[in-house]
Amino acid sequence: MSRALWFVAGAGAGVYALSKARRAAEALTPEGLADRLSGLGLGARLFGDEVRTGMAERETELRNRLGLRLHGDQAPAELTKEGNG
């Protein structure tokens, strides 16, 4: 029983090591590196979009709170400060 258990454990470890090695070798090919770089670029682009969206929302919130408006915005008279915009 003990030998069979060790045989199965060794075979499982070998399969695991082989799959990890194959995955690492694939990642180091030019196509694998290109895929990783494109994924990194996409992640950075999505993060930048989220940051810009958050900044715009926060700016709108602050403008509403302070009663300011952008040039060309049609704000109600009570929200428009004299001399701004």
pLDDT of residue 85: 46
Place of tokens 């590196």: 33
Q: What's the pLDDT at 35?
A: 92
Whether the predicted model's global pTM rises above the 0.85 cut? no
List, for residues 13-47, the tens digit of each pLDDT value. Answer: 999 999 999 999 988 899 989 999 999 999 999 99
Q: Are 79 and 67 in contact (CB under 8 A)?
A: yes
Q: Which residue has the tokens 């995955």?
A: 23
CA 76 – CA 67 distance, rounded (Å): 10
Per-residue pLDDT reduced to its tens digit, 59-82: 999 999 998 877 766 655 555 555
